[in-house]
Amino acid sequence: MFSAGESSGDQHAANLFLELKKNRPDIQGLGMGGLHMRKAGIDVRFDSTAIAVIGVVEVIKHYPDIRRALKCMQKILIEERPDLLICVDYKEFNFKLARFAKQLGIKVLFYVSPQVWAWRPGRVKKYGQVIDMMAVIFPFETAYYEAEHVPVRYVGHPSVDKVHPKFAKADDFTLFGLNTTSPVVGLLPGSRLGEIKRMLPVMLTAAADIQSEMPEVQFVLPQAGSISDDTLQSYLRHRSIEIIVIKNMPYDAVQCCDAIMTTSGTATLECALLTVPMVIAYKLSPITYWLGRLLVKTPFIGLPNIIAGKRIVKELIQHEAAPEQLAVEVLRLLSDKAYVQQMRTDLQQVKERLGPGGGSKQMANLVLEMLAGQG
């Protein structure tokens, strides 16, 4: 049984299940997730699209839906008695679900560790009480669990295997109708509705500012599978600038870019794996931001910066995530060759730190171990 509450978790679960099927064609999967899990052959009993939210205020607004999802998943645990529950990210929800499963005597594997190195490190012990194994995706995370004698396995980051364009860069320029002699800027506003609402208007205004300074610039926007055409077009249709929307080919879109405006999250790591220069921008509700300032122990929010242990990519958070500041940074990325070269070098080092890949395969091996009673 899988429990994935967000777009990235939905993809991780789907990739893992496909890898599992190679080893055990008879294996069955069910649970909570989205389109990727359905396509992989998992019986999705609860669609997680409506509960893919982040932040205190957003969670409160969607609390009835989240509670309904939890009740649904608990009911499935009671009735179906799966051999293993795999909780993929979505920390608070999955912590409660894991605790419920453990009370029923069902094995629990947690995939993608809560960011205990960033905030609330004391939670390591609590997670240790409700899981049988923590599968981490960053090599430095194992130490936190080993210190508290919590079973942990580093399986590698799933994005390393996933982030590969389908075509050569030159072919993508032709496919997307891009001019090879003009700069390309990418807009990655996020995969959640709340992120689109907060960040896309900011990015679109920044794009207009960039174009006024550099008229030949081109813009691409890889559309997240969790965002509908109607939702996206409601923001784009009244803008004078041309945005080329690209579906189902996010890495091909990113590899065409000279610079990218992206929200914080997995997308920043995907850009890093393709060594494309970027600026990270993020806004939360004021309450969530205030609480975060009190609790977060790391000086960075961007994964490339966290992995590097230093600021290699500029972060514009909350009031700093304004169109003017975004435009200034993107224009620098399009004009300052030495600055860009250093960033590309640093991003290459981040890529190397993540290792050679094989995350889904290693994760599948761990699952099979646990199903066999060895994990």
Contact 107, 117 (CB under 8 A): no
Model confidence at 299, pLDDT cuts 50, 70, 90, reads: confident
CA distance 188 to 133: 33
Q: Would you identify the CATH topology of the domain 169-353?
A: Rossmann fold (3.40.50)
pLDDT (0 to 100) of residue 159:
87
Tokens representing 104? 């029923």
Contact 353, 312 (CB under 8 A): no
Going by C-alpha positions, the residue among 199, 208, 282, 283 that lies closest to residue 238 is: 208
For residues 29-56, give the mean pLDDT.
88
Q: Check if 2-156+358-371 and 169-353 are the same fold.
A: yes
Domain 2-156+358-371: CATH superfamily, name plus number? Glycogen Phosphorylase B; (3.40.50.2000)
Mean pLDDT score of the chain: 91
Query: Does the pLDDT at position 308 exceed 70?
Result: yes
For residues 115-142, give the mean pLDDT.
84
Annotated domain spans of the chain? 2-156+358-371, 169-353
89-100 as b/e, with b when 16 or more CB fall inside 10 Å?
A: bbbebbbbbbeb
pLDDT (0 to 100) of residue 59:
67
Q: What is this structure's pTM?
A: 0.79
Tokens representing 374? 């060895």
Query: Does the pLDDT at position 58 exceed 90?
Result: no
